[in-house]
Structure 1
Amino acid sequence: MSDDRTTLPGPAAAPRPAGADGPAAAPGLAAHRLSLGYAGRTVVDGVDLAVPGGAVTAVVGPNACGKSTLLRGLARLLAPTAGTVTLDGADIHRMPARALARRLGLLPQQAVAPEGVTVEGLVRLGRYPHQRMLTPWSKADQAAVEEALARTGTDVLRDRPVDQLSGGQRQRAWIALALAQDTPLLLLDEPTTFLDLRHQLDVLDLVEELNTEAGRTVVMVLHDLGQAARYADHLVVMCDGRPAAAGPPAEVLTAGLVEEVFQVECRVVPDPETGTPLVVPRDRSGRRRAPGRPAA
């Protein structure tokens, strides 16, 4: 993808084992007293956070709580007003852009493609950090592009201009670009945006595959708490610019936390498919209560 990428520290969940093709060591991404903002307005305020290496971390929270701003800071798209972001102990703002882009891939929330570029042309841009001056496009580059297209189901769209795709198709094309970049660390800002339920699950299954089979560390911003709990090893719950809680979903996602952070009364029950926490909001009107079911 482009040239900005980042790191986080925090409570470590037990990471899943890396696959045979995974990186030898999971990258260590961390934020230290990190503050971020826009036009003098602080959005993320003094955050200390660690991203568990070799695991999937989901960042959740209400609208305007700083989720995407935090991810932008971790990806070097936004300069800190205070604090630092480090990758394996090195300040990412002191790293050469191309070197950082070989370590960290990013799917931004509102990506804009070059005018008239095709899906394959867009995905090929993911190989830019691996190119050298006067080095021709290689079989390895094309293989990475083909794998990214196949994994995201965009191979059948390869010759279509990106600006003529539906929102969901466009989102999958950008995910393919991030995959073609082939980095050990992948940051995804709302990767399920614009996707119907089937394609949401396809993307999240792919994230799980990249983690378990290729050993990639993934940090993604999600809105759906059930999906975050099902697919993530580690949750970071943001509220008012700071983490309200961080840790394994089964420990972090409680009815009390959801009410405090989201202002929603709920029950948290085991997902009948996975056993992971599932948030069930309380019926606030009584009109939709199942026949014969007494009020709580």
Structure 2
Amino acid sequence: MSLAREHANRLPRRRSTRWIETRAALLFISPWLIGLLVFTAWPIINSAYLSLTDYDVINDPSFVGFDNYVTLFEDPKVGLAIRNTFLFAVMSVPAHLVVSLALALLLNSAAKATGFFRTAFFLPKMTPPVAIGVLLVMLFNGQSGLVNGALGLVGIDGPAWTTDPGWVKPGLVLMSLWTVGASVIIILAALRGVPQELYDSALVDGAGWWRRTLRITVPMISPTLFFLFIVDTINALQSFTEAYTAFFGAGNTTYSNDAALFYAIYLFRQAFEFLHMGYASALAWLLFVIIMVITAVQILVTRRYVHYEGGQS
């Protein structure tokens, strides 16, 4: 009986201690919770409402139902922006992954000064996107840019990167490789986790570097590559700052703007240049749906190729 009574007395103490710990945890994460509710949840809910209204910031919103969504499906600029964004994503995401993997493999094989090169590759990531947009115009200018100047030294007549619609997006892709440093560091960390025994066994079997990379390295770091594939795709679909700075900033009308009209740029212009906040909110929700669908398709299609320690996903 005494044991049962002692156990019964301990229960309220455990519950009290658990409640104190829970309250302390909630107190510590309260700044994040408040930020999530105020700066994320509320804007999402409000944008859903605004997408059903005609709102120009100056006057009160007037409810129009699904008119904004009907308009965006009839707007030819929306189709153009989606095509530009998809083409940019199709070019930039594989380029980012391949360049990041190549640089990470080089760093992983470097015996000395790895720390220095890690820092050197990551530093460009700290460059403000606006500065990258300005650099794009300076480097890829068809007449006086450094890129065409370097190509001219080897006898290649460089294209008009910023004025030829066919070369605008490749130029943006090449410029976006400036910031692959973060991906390089992530892949390098994954490479350091590949067991050396696997490479030793492959060497005994006579496998060369290329075969070891394809048969061991890539499968073992496939979860990391899969993560970067998803993240880079989402980032590409939301590309804005560099292209806007280079082709639309400060009233720029010199360059081929339509070729650089990405979806996020068109959304921004509708919201803050033309003050079509309701229409811009509908555009934002369409972009959200597009990203969710593409991400779901990527997960379903590519997860069979992702190798985990317990087997394939």
Give the structure-1-normalised TM-score.
0.25
Bigger proportion of residues as helix:
2
> What is the TM-score with the length of structure 2 in the denominator?
0.24
Greater fraction of residues in strand: 1
Indicate the structure (1 or 2) with the bigger Cα radius of gyration: 2
